[in-house]
Amino acid sequence: MGLFDWIGGQFIDVIEWTDDSHDTMVYRFNRQGNEIKYGAKLIVRASQVAVFVNEGEIADILTAGTYELETKNIPILTSLQHWDHGFDSPFKAEVYFLNTKRFIDLKWGTKNPIMVRDKEFAMVRLRAFGSYEIRIKEPQVFMEEIVGTDGHFTTDEIDKQLTNLIVSKFATVIGNADTPVLDMAGNYEIFGGFITDKISPYFTEYGLELTKILIENISLPPEVEKALDVRSSRAITGNLDDHLKYQSAEALANGSGGMSDMVGMGAGLAMGQQMAQSMQQVYNQPQQSTTPPASMPPPVPNQAPQYHVAINGASQGPYPMQTIIEYITQGTITKESLVWSEGMAGWTPASKVFADKFAQVPPPLV
């Protein structure tokens, strides 16, 4: 290498930064000890700002454009103690490029469930996750508060702090919301915009702008979701008797152990109850006697119809009409209660089977 080549290598003619990554927020131009020549060109692209730093002090912030580093273009530099020569000689400075584009698809999520009040479930624990978008709004604040002297600052270095900030504020917002849990899924977009407005002011303390928060899911605890699935299955099944048979078959198919044992016991009790009812019905039917008549005639079989009643989700009975009337008077059987008797096609509301009996019930005392 010749002497003039070595001297020429000490000066930088063009200062620029092209980024092919998706997560770099700040990049410090690598001088490697070289000086910046008076009149050198600085290229700042549309999605960038350039920050000059001298001895830890921000000298100037330049937006998109092409600059020739002269005194008239960078007046603030001339006021620093090392610019007394007015750029007649080469100078040294740190140049940071800040990426002002929008950084998207940054993930957030609750680490632990959030306890909230709900109109339907009273109290419930919720988990939530989604994504958010940010961009640098105040370069000087961002440099002073977050970046410092980091020469290659990425979203990974601040993502954890921002996620904690979102989750903490999200808990406050969702705790004060009046939207029922089951209605949140239909209002994710509106709810996300509302949360963005509430949380974005806290991002300005870092020189950032929170442009959007997206909610991908708000979920209930597994045991609550399971209960909802059972409730949905019950609604789809419709007929109570068919639903009991369905549960019994599921318990037998799933084997034994833990919860399946409990379900199996319940299924066994239900099957035993049905067998007892069948035996009682057989006993109540008239039997053909093959023995000669005794001195005392057998009791007259009960020919009056008896009814099964669905009480608290379980079939009870059969009961004679006198017991049915007593239950109606006591309020145990309401007009919406389902009843069934031999010969009926299926479970039928009590108001249709005992319409005249409900008319006899006295009105409540005032």
Q: Is the dihedral of CA 172, 176, 179, 181 positive or negative?
A: positive
Within a domain: 300: no
Does 207 share its domain with 170?
yes
Per-residue pLDDT at 26: 95
Q: Which strands, in side-by-side order, build the sheet including 35-44?
A: 11-15, 35-44, 65-68
- The 10s digit of each residue's pLDDT in 239-294 is 656 666 666 766 666 665 554 555 555 555 556 666 666 666 655 655 555 555 55
Q: Are residues 9 and 91 in the same domain?
A: yes
Same domain? 214 vs 160:
yes
**Cα separations (Å) of 63 from 51, 259, 313?**
9, 66, 71
Q: 116 with 172, same domain? A: yes
Structural domain contains residue 364: no
**Domain final residue, candidates 99, 122, 144:** 99
Residues 58 and 136 in one domain: no
Neighbours of 44 (CB within 10 A): 21
Residue 111 sits in the same domain as residue 167:
yes
Range of the domain at 85: 3-99
Asked whether residue 83 is assigned to any structural domain, the reply reads yes
Residues 6+ apart with CB under 8 A from 361: 328, 329
Q: Tell me, what's the pLDDT at 4?
A: 42
Say if 297 falls within a structural domain. no
Q: Give the model's pLDDT for residue 140.
A: 94
Residue 323 lies in a domain: yes
Same domain, 163 and 202: yes
CA–CA gap between residue 264 and residue 155 (Å, rounded): 53
H-type alpha helices, the chain? 3-8, 139-142, 156-176, 181-184, 188-203, 222-237, 240-253, 259-284, 321-330, 350-353, 355-359
**Number of compact structural domains in the chain:** 4
- Cα dist. 76→9, 80, 94, 181 in Å? 27, 7, 15, 56
Report the pLDDT value the prediction gives residue 83, as an integer from 0 to 100: 42
Half-sphere exposure of 278 (CA within 13 A, CB side): 6
pLDDT of 189 reads 85
Largest CA distance in the chain: 142
Per-residue pLDDT at 364: 62
**What does the pLDDT read at residue 68?**
83
The pLDDT value recorded for residue 45 is 94
32 belongs to a structural domain: yes
3-state secondary structure of 238: coil
> What is the pLDDT tens value at each position of the chain, 366 positions in all?
444 444 444 456 788 999 888 899 999 987 655 567 777 889 999 999 999 887 778 888 999 999 887 655 554 444 444 444 444 455 677 899 999 999 999 999 988 888 888 877 778 888 899 999 999 999 999 999 999 888 899 999 999 999 998 888 888 877 777 777 777 777 788 878 888 888 899 999 999 999 999 989 888 878 877 877 777 666 665 565 666 666 676 666 666 555 455 555 555 555 666 666 666 665 565 555 555 555 566 665 556 788 888 888 888 888 898 888 888 888 888 888 898 888 888 889 988 888 888 876 666 665
CA distances from 221 to 17, 176, 184, 187, 227 (A): 48, 20, 15, 20, 10
Is 72 within a domain?
yes
Which residue(s) pair with 43 in the sheet?
66
- Based on the domain organization, do 73 and 127 belong to the same domain? no
**288 domain-assigned:** no
Could you tell me the CATH number of the domain that includes residue 187?
A: 3.30.479.30
Asked if residue 343 and residue 279 are part of one domain, the reply reads: no
How far, in Å, CA of 13 to CA of 21, rounded?
A: 25
| pLDDT at res. 78 | 42
pLDDT at 238: 58
